[in-house]
Amino acid sequence: MKRRALDLSHVLDDSRPTPTVRVLEKRIHTRFDKAFLVVIGSELYGDSFAIARNISSGGILVEMTYAPPLGTVVTVHFQTHRDEDKVDEIVARAEVKHHHYLNFLTGNDAASTRAIGLRFLEFVDMGDPIDADRIH
């Protein structure tokens, strides 16, 4: 039996049109794609600063230095400074639903970060402000 050589010349040919794939949006809630600073509070891990992204009424993606275990309930403190002595704050309780490990390039250097996907459970009364000694 004689074998024919496969013609693979079309593989490197850039003149062929690339197929377009329709992206279906599966999210239930509209997201607000903005990065801002939040404080994540946990009974076991204390309070720490984090970068919040992609906030929606259903949840939020938070870049953190550590990833609390799945199912952990944390508090998310959204703070804004109105004056030198006035701080407005919204506090939400949320459950850790996903762990994300993001790899990316900064110039020619590889970098990575951790992120967690949080699902909001409820918004709570502010209560007392966070003690500065608890934040690390």
**pLDDT tens, position by position, 89-120:** 889 999 999 999 988 888 888 888 899 999 99
pTM assigned to the model: 0.66
pLDDT-derived band at 26 (thresholds 50, 70, 90) equals low
Distance CA 57, CA 123 (A): 11
Which structural domain range is residue 35 located in?
26-134
Q: How far is CA 1 from CA 4, 8, 68, 128, in A?
A: 10, 22, 61, 83
pLDDT-derived band at 136 (thresholds 50, 70, 90) equals very low
**Higher-confidence residue: 11 or 88?**
88
Q: Is residue 113 part of a domain?
A: yes
Does residue 135 contact residue 49 with C-beta atoms inside 8 Å? yes
Overall number of domains in the chain: 1
Q: Is residue 83 part of a domain?
A: yes
CATH of the domain at 124: 2.40.10.220
**Could you tell me how far CA 13 lies from the centroid of its own chain?**
38
Does residue 89 contact residue 77 with C-beta atoms inside 8 Å? yes
Q: Is residue 81 part of a domain?
A: yes
